[in-house]
Amino acid sequence: MSSDAPKGTLPALGPAKAGGGAADFLLTRLEEMVSWARKNSLWPFPFATACCGIEFMSVASAHYDISRFGSEVMRFSPRQADLLIVAGTVTDKMAPVLRKIYDQMPEPKWVISMGVCASSGGFYRAYHVTQGIDEIVPVDVYVPGCPPTPEELIYAIMQLQKKIQSGEKSRDQRSAKLAAERIS
């Protein structure tokens, strides 16, 4: 995935650095264990607005059963969630709400943008549709598809798990920098 990525992308993800002394060794192992625990208990906040929300329901129901990945605990309070899944079109009217929810989530937090509407506005190049939620919140994983199949979302969650294991916490600061560059 990252090998043929064009320039402008973020640096490739690697495992957490191995430390020097005994204390470092212990702490690194601990860090890895924390990452491992984090990636296997992602509690999602389903920000389901539209069609993708219906496919998200599929992911949660019997056929796909997201609990196999430790993510079945849907939290409708942002303060208890650490994965924001934005499933569906976000309009300009909804944008402040999304930002508020994101701000209310405790660190570490991750964002999956499910479907093309959330990722870029999709085929709604229109007067009331946010052209990608990365205008509002930083996004960790984008999932294409309109709507993505449930497998595609699970695949994205697996990618995110890899990323969490590598030790990256959130994209917030780096995204803010990218966004600032884009505006100027």
> CB of residue 150 vs other proteins: minimum separation in angstroms?
8
Nearer to other proteins, 28 or 159 (CB): 159
> CB of residue 24 vs other proteins: minimum separation in angstroms?
29
Positions 56 through 115 that interact with other proteins (CB under 8 A): 57-58, 61-65, 68, 74, 76, 88-89, 91-101
Q: Are 115 and 122 in contact (CB under 8 A)?
A: yes
Asked whether position 138 contacts other proteins by CB under 8 A, the answer is no
- Cβ burial of 1 (10 Å; 0-12, 13-18, 19+) is exposed
Separation between Cα atoms, residue 57 and residue 4, nearest integer Å: 33
Separation between Cα atoms, residue 117 and residue 115, nearest integer Å: 6
> CB of residue 54 vs other proteins: minimum separation in angstroms?
6
Report the residue from 19, 70, 108, 144 that binds other proteins according to the rule CB under 8 A.
Answer: 144
> CB of residue 156 vs other proteins: minimum separation in angstroms?
4
Separation between Cα atoms, residue 179 and residue 50, nearest integer Å: 26
